[in-house]
Structure 1
Amino acid sequence: MFERRISSMNRLVVMALKCPEAAKFLAMSRATFYDIQNPKSPRFDPTFPTTAKVRLGARSVAWLASDLQAWLESRRVGAQPTGRADQ
């Protein structure tokens, strides 16, 4: 959905979302978006993809839409558990 090939160049295009867009994509507020990444927060979610974060500049980061999509799908009610080592 967020990765597509440009037919004339056959290149893969990857979407990077800045905080407001990433939070909107996940249907949550920016505060909640940051809380799920903060280990000191009661809303902290250790399954959130920290590798999805990409540094764009000295003070600018974005999150890969494909990783956010995969995390969102893993939280679907009735979803099969992932192949984690602790299972």
Structure 2
Amino acid sequence: MQILDANTQQNVSTASTLQIPRMLPLKQVMHYTALSSTTIYEMINEKSDRYDPTFPVQVKLSRGRVAWVESEVADWIKGKISARVH
């Protein structure tokens, strides 16, 4: 059993309140949006006819790895749902 002192308890409570954004790899963005990778990259390319300035831009995590912020993707999807014509 671990014994917690005041410092440990403070660190635990601080860590539990920290909100770290969740990052989504391309495959999950494709799954959630029902878009292909080609369409996604065209939507973030300002030179493309399919450019959509409202679509979230990826975050470069390392030399060969990018991801999207989950909350931004979710907000974009919610916006599309709200904008539909009934």
Equivalent position of 2:63 in the other structure: 58
Unmatched 5+ residue regions in structure 1?
1-7, 79-87
Q: Show the counterpart of 1:74.
A: 79
Aligned to 2:26: 19
* Poorly superposed stretches of 4+, deviation over 2 Å: 8-14
Deviation of residue 48 (structure 1)? 1.5
RMSD value, Cα: 2.0
SS in 2 for 1:9: helix
Q: Which residue of 2 aligns with 1:36?
A: 43
Distance change in 2, residues 1:10/1:46 (3 Å)? closer
Which structure carries more strand by proportion?
1
State the identity as a percent: 30
Q: Distance in 1 between matches of 2:35 and 2:69?
A: 17
DSSP 3-state at the match of 1:12: coil
Shift of 1:11: 4.0
TM-score, normalised to structure 1's length?
0.66
User: Which structure carries more helix by proportion?
Assistant: 2
| Alignment coverage as a number of residue pairs | 70
